[in-house]
Amino acid sequence: MGGGPAGATTALLLARGGAAVLLLDRARFPRDKPCSEYLSPATTPILERLGAGVLAAIEGAAHAKLYGMKVVAPSGVAMCGRFASDHGHVPRRPYSFALSRARFDAILLRAAERAGAVIQEGVAVDDLVWDRGSVAGVVARSCDGQRVTCNARVVVGADGLHSVVARRLGLVRTSPPRRIAFTAHVTDVAGVDGVGELHVGERGYVGLGPIGGGVTTVALVVPRAAVRRRRQDFRAGFFAELERYPALSGRFERRRLVRDVLATGPFGQWARRPAVDGALLVGDAADFFDPFTGQGIYSALRGAELAADCLVPGLARGVLTPCPPLRSGEGGRHEFPLSLRERGPGGEDPSREAVRSLSGPLPATMLEPYVRARRREFAGKCLADLLVGATGNFVPARRVLAPSVLAQLLW
Helix axes 296-317, 5-16, angle to 10 degrees: 30
CB of 236 to ligand FAD, least distance (A): 18
Of 307, 398, 303, 364, residue with least CA distance to 42: 303
Region label for 69, one of left (φ > 0), alpha (ψ between -120 and 50) or beta (otherwise)? beta
- Of 85 and 96, the one with the shorter C-beta distance to ligand FAD is 96
CB of 42 to ligand FAD, least distance (A): 10
CB of 149 to ligand FAD, least distance (A): 14
The count of other CB atoms within 10 Å of the CB of residue 86 is 9
Contact set with ligand FAD (CB under 6 A): 1-7, 24-27, 33-38, 40, 124-125, 158-160, 164, 181, 183, 219, 264, 283-285, 288, 291, 294-298, 300
What is the number of the residue whose Cβ is closest to ligand FAD?
296
Using H for helix, E for strand and C for coil, what is the string for 10-53?
HHHHHHHCCCCCEEEECCCCCCCCCCCCECCCCHHHHHHHHCCC
Contacts of 317 (CB under 8 A, 6+ apart): none
CB of 203 to ligand FAD, least distance (A): 16
- Of 1 and 323, the one with the shorter C-beta distance to ligand FAD is 1
CB of 26 to ligand FAD, least distance (A): 4
Q: Are 65 and 97 in contact (CB under 8 A)?
A: yes
- Of 34 and 74, the one with the shorter C-beta distance to ligand FAD is 34
* β-pair type (68-72, 196-200): parallel
What is the signed CA dihedral for 77, 400, 360, 276, rounded to 10 degrees?
-160
- Of 146 and 328, the one with the shorter C-beta distance to ligand FAD is 146
- Of 278 and 294, the one with the shorter C-beta distance to ligand FAD is 294
Contacts of 270 (CB under 8 A, 6+ apart): 172, 173, 174, 175, 286, 287, 288, 289, 355
Q: Which helix H or strand E contains 375, and what residues bound it?
A: none
- Of 159 and 335, the one with the shorter C-beta distance to ligand FAD is 159
CB of 230 to ligand FAD, least distance (A): 18
- Of 3 and 350, the one with the shorter C-beta distance to ligand FAD is 3
CB of 209 to ligand FAD, least distance (A): 8
**Which DSSP symbol is given to 324?**
P
